[in-house]
A and B are shown apart, each in its own frame.
Chain A
Amino acid sequence: MDSLIAVISRKRFRTGWTAFIIVFFLFFVILPTVYILSYAFTNWGSIEQYVLDDPAMLDLILNAISASFQIAAIVTVIDILVGLPMAWMLVRKQFRGKALLDTLIDMPLAVPTAALGFSSAIFFAVTPDALQAPSFALNAVTSPFILIILLHVVFSYPYMVRSLSAILVQIDQTYETAGRTLGASALSAARTITLPLFRAGLVTGIILCFARSLSETGGTMIALATMANSQGFQTGPTIIGMWKPLVETNTDLAAPLAFVSILLILLSLVLLLVIKLVVMKVHLPMGRIWPRPEKLFSRGWFPKTKDGLAVFFLVLFVLIPSFFIFTYVGSVESASFDWGPFTESLLFSFMVAGVVTVIDIALGVPLAVYIAKNRTGKLSDVLDVLVNVPLIVPTAALGYSLGVFWTGQNIIPTYDVLLIILAHVAFTYPLVVRNVAGAVEEVDPAFEETARTLGAKPVQAFRRVLYPIIKSSILAGAIMAFTRSLGETGATQAVVASAQTAPVYIVNLINLKTPSGYYTAGLACIVLIIVSFVFMLALRYITNRRSR
């Protein structure tokens, strides 16, 4: 053991290890993610031939992509508008039932998006008669565009509230109190002092929310399949999901697929930049204070109404749609259900998620530590920016790109499972890195430095001092990676069309459009929800116990 520590403490070994991690990240995560961009250079001819010169095709693609971006933008705006009061309430106010509210917000996070898609579609949308939706379902939405917006709000709202409250917690409340001692009412102080300080954090929230909406595939496909008439509505990712199984027999689709992927990747990266610039540069008229009206709004009915509306929104637009599936399954006639294929697909999903999580932790933690500790270095800066790329690129595009990358080489074998794992690693790896890097940065470097001066080698200092402190963040990263992988449809389908994961299985059931198909799909969703709930609880239990 001692000699092992001596070996890995050598400068040369440490440098080699760091280099390996960085190479892994660049070669296995970043490069496959954006590889498809090269298609535009090597095969521009086919893009012209099959897409640009085919107006119907071009129209279809552009409509789908524009719908994707419109939905993402609208969802983000809604999330901010309703998420901010909720985040504010959770961070700045003390009230009875706060812990309950806090848990309720997290609940939808545990529901896989596939189940969310089915559940919310039954609640919101006008559904076919065969589905036998309960009479108290809203049963009102006929526009697929609106349905998808509602669905995306359901699953992205908790993310937005969480990231907004994370920022809010970090803003010292003393600033606001200082403003109030100077005579500003609570609302004025919040608006002129806290909100401007909020800006940088807001960018992160917006980008994450936007990217999540842009990426979402499984739930979207299921929701569209569930509604009575989806009018052939497509988003960018669902097009990839639709064409990918066909491309093997119809090679004409290769160019359109590449084109959709390229557009999604490029536009999301450009948009990222634009959002960042716009939010940071736009100068809002924050200076002026209107004492009288703001004072009026600081007290009495206004704050109460605002908080009430926030809770109302949470219940009606997030919680009920998330769990409506239980009501549905309880209210319709039961049908026989063949568990075999479903269990298989479920096991497959879990296996993939497990392997992916292990890889993420083993190779993500070192990169996170490197980035966090070399904040002043140029390389670290570049890596830090690159880490965000797979988070922003829609996963369907990422999956397609990655599939093309790996099948086009002869270095590693291209088994389906391996490709799916690599694809999932690509978009979950950044989650772990970002989470852990954030945690490492919060830890006072004095801990490790003191350990070094007490005689600990770098490895020992990490193992005995830093690791126990960041352990819970590593676990949190693992949970995120695991659940993301479990709920992912877009990337899986885009990389291996025939993959039978749980969401794909559910879509197939829904597409039968028979009462028993719908019922079975509902039951499958419930099983999915319960399994991931149990899993999350178990992990949470372990986390709590270990961090005591």
Chain B
Amino acid sequence: MVEVKLVGLGKRYGSVTAVEKVDLTVADKEYVTILGPSGCGKTTLIRMIAGIIEPTDGKVYIDGKDMTGVPIEDRDIGYVFQNIALFPHLTVQNNVSYGPRARDLPPEEQKRISRRFLEMVKLLDKMGMLPGELCGGEQQKVSLARALSSGSKLLLLDEPLSALDSRVRVDLRYELRRLAKELGLTTIHVTHDQEEAQSVSDRIVLMRAGTVVETGTPEELYTRPRKIFTANFIGETNLLEGWVLEIKDGVSVIELRNGGNVRVNQADHPVGYAVVISVRPEFVFPADEGMRAIVTAITYMGTYWRVTANTEDEEEVAFDSATLDENLLTIGKEVYLAVNPKAAVLYPRPEDGVQEAIKLE
């Protein structure tokens, strides 16, 4: 049983606030990702959990125990570093057996544990090598084995995949989740990569500028994000500005700034209210009527075509098409675009404008 609880956890450096009072409970065996752009405070947060950084506000509880003042080595955690940080002077096996050695387990036990975890990441044959002789993905797997070898049931992953090639990253994220689940670990994983977060997590905590924007399952954050920032950050989306024209039977008709009208199955803003619609490219489709736009680019995405079109007031709308009928879709062609009313989400139009609300840096 490992449960992690953060109560009002915050960190200030002088007048700069890196993390603003975060409350979060990670349940036993849960895989939680802390996602956000650079400088959002996610790394500071995980480092406070590990005890590498002392918080200025609030407390960390692991298994109900207050961790204030408990040094790193007594917190019983497994930690994987962004820069991998394998001890360069020790062989792969000695890296992995470092944890058992630090706890003064008998030599046979050290050997058994290191073999077990190296086998788990399928690197038993590289046991005698030095870290420098391995490629990036292998190094990170060894570092994972090393973190697990301490026997801790709490795994903290600090941007574990960001130093790797993107193709290697894709393979490793499925493996990460598999391992965490098989071993029944409570996992907290920090990343800036939204695709990675979606693939590995039970739950995502989205952060921005030191605060938590929103928490939810990957599905919740993708299909029903509560904030515009979330809608834009997780997966691609079209953000279209407009006004509520009328409401009927729980369906709002929105008049868009670009001239078109679209229907959205949502009725929580009154008529005349300025709104923003978020709709994913896969839920926009060519139709007989809707937003008028001119096709500007067509890109092959492997299993579908991504089409971008410009509306009359130069708003860009992206939509996906499974096939490409060249009579209907070519660059320069006029199309009318409709929106799947079930998949669109309405937001009040932000005061500082949409761009400010979704700004990444």
Among listed A7-15, A180-188, A345-353, A492-500, interface-contacting one:
A180-188
Find residues 299-348 in chain B having any chain A CB closer than 8 Å to their own CB.
none
Cβ of A291 under 8 Å from chain B: yes
Residues of A with C-beta under 8 A to B146 = 178, 182
Q: How far is the CB of B234 from chain A (nearest CB, A)?
A: 29
Bound-state CA distance A295–B74 (Å) is 10
A290 in the interface (beta carbon within 8 A)? yes
Is residue B225 contacting chain A, with contact meaning CB distance below 8 A? no
A185-B73, A291-B104 given; A175·B94 CB < 8 A: no
A340 at the interface (CB under 8 A from B): no
* A179 touching B79, Cβ below 8 Å: no
- In the complex, the chain B residue whose C-beta lies closest to that of A183 is B102
Task: List which B99-122 residues lie within 8 A (CB) of chain A.
Answer: 99, 101-104
Given A177-B52, A196-B89, A184-B83 contact (CB < 8 Å): no
Partner among A184, A196, A197, A299 whose Cβ is within 8 Å of the Cβ of B102: A184
Residues in chain B near residue A193, CB distance under 8 A: 87
Question: Does A333 sit at the interface, judged by CB under 8 A?
Answer: no
Total number of A residues with any Cβ neighbor in B under 8 Å: 28
A287 at the interface (CB under 8 A from B): yes
Q: Nearest Cβ in chain A — how far from B154, in angstroms?
A: 11
CB <8 Å contact, B104 and A290: yes
Q: Does B32 contact A (CB under 8 A)?
A: no
A181 & B147 in contact (Cβ 8 Å cutoff): yes
Q: Is the CB of A183 within 8 A of B85?
A: no
Given A193-B87, A290-B104, does the pair A180, B150 have CB atoms closer than 8 Å?
Answer: no
| Contacts of A172-223 to chain B: CB distance below 8 A | 172, 174-175, 177-186, 188-189, 192-193, 196-197
**Residues 287-323 of chain A: 1 if any B CB is under 8 Å from the residue's CB, otherwise 0?**
1111110010011000000000000000000000000
Residue B78 interfacial (CB < 8 Å):
yes
The answer for the CA separation of A184 and B105 in the assembled complex, in Å, is 12
The closest CB in chain A to the CB of B96 belongs to A182
B87 touches A183 (CB 8 A): no
Q: Does B231 contact A (CB under 8 A)?
A: no
Among A178, A181, A289, A295, the residue within 8 A (CB) of B87 is A178
- B residues contacting the other copy or chain, number (CB 8 A): 28
Residues of A close to B149: CB separation below 8 A? 182
Q: Is the CB of A175 within 8 A of B102?
A: no
Contact of B103 among A178, A291, A299 (CB under 8 A): A291
B52, chain A: closest CB distance, angstroms: 6
> Which residue, of A180, A181, A287, has the highest number of chain B Cβ atoms within 10 A?
A181
A168 → B minimal CB distance (Å): 16
Chain A CB count within 10 A is highest, among B75, B99, B147, for B99
If A182-B146, A183-B103 touch, whether A172 touches B83 (CB-CB below 8 Å) is: yes
CA distance A64 to B353 in the complex (A): 82
How many angstroms between the C-alpha atoms of A180 and B156 in the bound complex? Answer: 14
- Verify A184–B79 contact, CB threshold 8 A: no
Q: CA A11 – CA B146 in complex, angstroms?
A: 53
The answer to whether B102 and A287 have CB atoms under 8 Å apart is no
Interface contact B85-A172, CB-CB below 8 Å:
yes
In Å, the complex CA distance between A175 and B52 comes to 12
CB-based contact B85/A175 at 8 Å: yes
B101 contacts A289, C-beta separation under 8 Å: yes
Alpha-carbon distance between A298 and B76 when the two chains are bound, in angstroms: 17
Q: Is the CB of B102 within 8 A of A289?
A: yes
Contacts of A172 in B (CB 8 A): 83, 85
Q: For A295, list chain B residues within 8 Å (CB).
A: 73
**Contact between chains at A178 and B85 (CB < 8 Å):** yes
Taking CB atoms and an 8 Å cut-off, the chain B residues in 131-174 that contact chain A are 146-147, 149-150, 156
Contact B81 A174 (CB under 8 A): yes
Closest Cβ–Cβ distance, residue A356 to chain B (whole Å): 41
Decide if B98 touches A181 in the complex (CB within 8 Å).
no
Interface centre among A180, A289, A290 (most CB of B within 10 A): A180
CB–CB A184/B50 < 8 A: no
- On whether the beta carbons of A179 and B88 are closer than 8 Å, the reply is no
B247 within 8 A of A: no
Find the B residue at minimum CB distance from A195.
B89
> Given the complex, which residues of B lie within 8 Å of A196, measured CB to CB?
89
Q: Is the CB of A287 within 8 A of B101?
A: yes
Q: How far is the CB of A185 from chain B (nearest CB, A)?
A: 6
Query: Chain B residues near A185 (CB, 8 Å)?
Result: 71, 73, 102
The digit string for B9-35, where 1 denotes a CB below 8 A from any CB of A, is 000000000000000000000000000
Residues of B within 8 A of A289 (CB): 101-102, 104
Contacts of A298 in B (CB 8 A): 71
Alpha-carbon distance between A395 and B205 when the two chains are bound, in angstroms: 65
In the complex, the answer to whether B101 meets A180 with C-beta atoms within 8 Å is: no
Q: Which of A210-239 contact B (CB under 8 A)?
A: none
Q: Which residues of A have CB within 8 Å of B150?
A: 181-183
Q: Indicate if B77 sits at the interface (CB-CB under 8 A).
A: yes
Residue of A nearest to B156 (CB): A181
Q: Which of A184, A287, A290 contacts B73 (CB 8 A)?
A: A184
Contacts of B156 in A (CB 8 A): 181
The answer to whether B87 touches A180, judged by C-beta atoms less than 8 angstroms apart, is no
| Chain A residue nearest to B149 in the complex (CB) | A182
| Interface check B72, CB cutoff 8 A | yes
> By the criterion CB–CB under 8 Å, are B98 and A184 in contact?
yes
Contact bitstring A356-381, B, C-beta under 8 A = 1, else 0: 00000000000000000000000000
Given that A178-B81, A178-B85, A289-B104 are known contacts, is A183 also in contact with B99, CB under 8 Å in the complex?
yes
Q: CB distance A181 to B72 under 8 Å? A: yes
Most buried by B among A183, A185, A196: A183
Interface pair A175/B87, CB less than 8 Å apart: yes
- CB-CB under 8 A from B102, the residues of chain A are 179, 182-185, 188, 289, 291
A180-B81 in contact given A175-B87, A287-B94, A289-B101 (Cβ < 8 Å):
no
B83 touches A174 (CB 8 A): yes
Q: For the complex formed, measure the closest distance between the CB of A454 and the CB atoms of chain B, giving whole angstroms.
A: 26
Instruction: Say which residue of A174, A186, A291 sits within 8 Å of B85 (CB atoms).
Output: A174
Docked complex Cα distance between A99 and B85 (Å)? 30
Q: Is the pair A180, B72 in contact by a Cβ cutoff of 8 Å?
A: yes
| Residue from A174, A177, A182, A186 in contact with B98 in the complex, judged by beta carbons closer than 8 Å | A182
B50, A181: Cβ atoms under 8 Å?
Answer: yes
Chain B residues with CB below 8 A from A178, complex form = 79, 81, 85, 87, 146
A299 to chain B, nearest CB (A): 8
Contacts of B104 in A (CB 8 A): 289-292
Q: Given contacts A174-B83, A182-B73, could you give 9 more A-B pairs where the C-beta distance is less than 8 Å? A: A177-B85, A180-B72, A181-B73, A183-B103, A184-B98, A184-B102, A186-B71, A186-B73, A289-B104
Q: Write 10 A-B pairs (CB below 8 A) sorted by A numbering.
A: A179-B102, A181-B77, A182-B99, A182-B150, A183-B102, A186-B71, A188-B102, A287-B94, A287-B101, A295-B73
Identify the 6 closest CB pairs spanning chains A and B, nearest first. Answer: A184-B102, A182-B99, A181-B79, A180-B72, A174-B85, A183-B102
